[in-house]
Amino acid sequence: MENPIYDRIGRALSLALHPFVIPTLGVALLLFGPSIMAGTPLGAKWFLLSVVAANTAILPVLALLLLHQLKIVPDLSLRSTRQRIVPLAVTAICYGLCIVSLEHIAVAFLLERFMIAALCCVLLVSVVNLRWKISLHMTSAGGLLGMLAELSHSGLANFQFILLLFILAAGALACARLYMGSHTIAQVASGTLSGALIAWFVLAA
């Protein structure tokens, strides 16, 4: 029997750690957390964060709402693989625009790397989605986990405590996605592992 409290918690976690939120969260941690970017001037930090938020959250959300209005995407939860195809393509374009925007900003090299990893995650999910429903939520969460782990390992950041907290948050998100029946264990696990490995290797390259 479903518990309405657990349902609300699951939806809250899915919204708070939505794939549209994760890139902005990751960039905020890089800019305002204990990383080598901590010394970036405050004005530059807010500018860079706004560039990433506009391209990875605001534009994709507006595009998804427009697709919903045009009946191209009937269900905003994107439960079927067919409904994911166009939104994933639009998201990939938005991520590409973000990378181009950051490309010539010297101080943003880590942000650019992180966004390249995020784009690789979207492209992987787009390909897998043609045959199988991998978890978008857990792929993006895995990407952030991979970023936190690799930068801590390389000495470019001191994210150990944040990494521990996000491991717990990602675990809670995985449980929520399973409880809500959005994914199977295989879809959750493969998404998390794929995202983490992609982010680790792109940032380590």
Residue-wise pLDDT for 7-33, tens only, equals 888 889 999 999 999 999 999 999 999
Report d(CA 43, CA 72) in Å as an integer: 39
> H or E stretch including 177?
helix 160-179
Segments in 17-159 forming alpha helices (H): 22-32, 42-53, 59-69, 81-103, 109-129, 136-154
Instruction: Determine the average pLDDT of the residues in 37-47.
Output: 95
Report d(CA 117, CA 201) in Å as an integer: 8
Report d(CA 86, CA 88) in Å as an integer: 5
**Model's pTM, two decimal places?**
0.92
Domain borders along the chain are: 4-204
Would you say residue 1 has pLDDT above 60? no
Per-residue pLDDT tens over the stretch 79-126: 777 888 888 999 999 999 999 999 989 889 999 999 999 999 999 999
DSSP 8-state secondary structure symbol assigned to residue 56: I
Report d(CA 37, CA 53) in Å as an integer: 18
Instruction: Determine the average pLDDT of the residues in 132-152.
Output: 95
